[in-house]
Amino acid sequence: MCELSGCDANVLTDVEGVEEILKAAALKANATILTTAFHRFEPHGVSGVVVIAESHLSIHTWPETGYAAMDFYTCGHATDPWAACEYAAKMLRARTMRTTEVKRGVEARRGQFTHVVTTDNEARVLTRRKQTA
């Protein structure tokens, strides 16, 4: 789970751009894209999901506050959700990122599954590269 703050409002408003970023993020994670569903709100804001063979990536944006809420939900050892997360943070031009990792589908006892909150990071300040013309 990832909260991005201080993002570029124009980027967060552009539904096609956000979809491209999320699809590229899926590829960065070494995931296989199956299908997507995106929606642009009026006056602004985007919601969207990329369903991948290894689960899904989701995003909800609030351009008016520079905020984006993202989930990078993957399974298997071949995918790296953190690669997708860091790529998306860079492309949305986030200033800070707060993440928590949750392990899903942990078998607590035979046939009974649970989840475990494993990493609860502090907000992280990101280096925002200067945009070149």
Stretch that binds its own copies, among 8-16, 17-25, 47-55, 84-92 (CB under 8 A): 47-55
Beta strand 2-5 with 96-109 is antiparallel
Nearer to its own copies, 7 or 83 (CB): 7
DSSP result, 75-123: -SSS--HHHHHHHHHHHTT-SEEEEEEEEEEEEEETTEEEEEEEEEPPP
| Residue 105 beta carbon to its own copies: minimum distance, rounded to whole angstroms | 6
Does residue 78 touch its own copies according to CB under 8 A? Answer: no
Sole binder of its own copies in the list 11, 21, 31, 67 (CB under 8 A): 67
- Is residue 39 annotated as part of the catalytic site, yes or no? no
Binder to its own copies among 48, 81, 88, 93 (CB under 8 A)? 48
CB distance 59 to 89 below 8 Å = no
Would you call 2 a catalytic residue per the annotation? Answer: no
Does 71 contact its own copies by CB under 8 A? Answer: yes
The enclosing H or E element of 69 equals strand 67-73
124 lies in the binding site for its own copies (CB under 8 A): no
Task: Count H helices and E strands in the chain, helices first.
Answer: 3, 8
Nearer to its own copies, 55 or 86 (CB): 55
Residue 23 and residue 50 in contact, taking contact as beta carbons nearer than 8 Å: yes
Indicate whether 79 belongs to the interface with its own copies (CB under 8 A): no
Residues serving a catalytic function are 55, 60, 75
